[in-house]
Amino acid sequence: MITDKVKVKIEGAKITIDGPLGSLSRLIPAGVNVTYKDNQINLILEQQDENGPGSAIYGTTRALVQNMATGVLSGFTKILEIHGVGFRGQVEGTKLTMQLGFSHPVVVDIPQGIKMSLDPKQTILTITGINRETVGTVAAKIKKIKPPEPYKGTGIRYQGERIVRKAGKTAAGAGSGGAAGAKK
């Protein structure tokens, strides 16, 4: 169900959804017809085979159109946490600069349509935008720069992500008593 704040326009195989936060457009794949009537977007699969390739594209298209409608109305957010001594970030205009323990600062360009902000401690990065795909892709690219490592837990992770920690060398060898391999 589409609210009154959202406007839908269908031109052939292209659907455009306008809302308070912006506008998104997408081409609908062949084999799926889109109609808009009584504040509802209906997708109809031309090929009615339940397990055929059309059913997969129908489900994907339905999810993408739903994400468009949600995005222009309320937007999407991903939150990343930067863990590590001296690790921090800074947003300046269209650039995100991060200190991540490398010999140089890491600079990331912020794509158009994405907004980033950091908390006062400069360790919690909030990524927002109206396109769910773009928000997720940007968050994944930033996380890939310094993924969380399992020994100390430092790196960039999603908020609430659980990192399975491993025991280090000293903890693993502590149970041997230190006399393994000693000659008499």
CB 119 within 8 A of CB 84: no
Give the number of other Cβ atoms within 10 Å of residue 31's Cβ. Answer: 15
Domain boundaries of the chain, sorted by first residue: 7-73, 76-158
Angle formed at CA 127 by CA 121 and CA 129, multiple of 5 degrees: 150
Helices then strands, each counted (H, E), the chain:
3, 12
Tens of pLDDT along 138-165? 999 999 999 999 888 899 999 988 888 8
Same fold, 7-73 and 76-158: yes
* Angstrom distance (rounded) from CA 19 to CA 42: 19
* CATH number for the domain running over 76-158: 3.90.930.12
Contacts by residues 117-124 (CB-CB < 8 Å, ≥ 24 positions apart): 117/91, 118/89, 118/90, 118/91, 121/88, 122/82, 122/88, 122/89, 122/90, 123/81, 123/82, 123/83, 123/87, 123/88, 123/89, 124/79, 124/80, 124/81, 124/82, 124/159
Q: Per CATH, is 7-73 categorized as 1.10.1530.10?
A: no
Q: pLDDT 10s per residue in the chain (184 long)?
A: 688 888 999 998 899 999 999 999 999 988 888 888 888 888 888 866 666 666 788 889 999 999 999 999 999 999 999 999 999 999 998 999 999 999 999 999 999 999 999 999 989 999 999 999 999 999 999 999 999 998 888 999 999 888 888 888 876 666 555 555 556 5
Q: Is the pTM of this model over 0.75?
A: yes
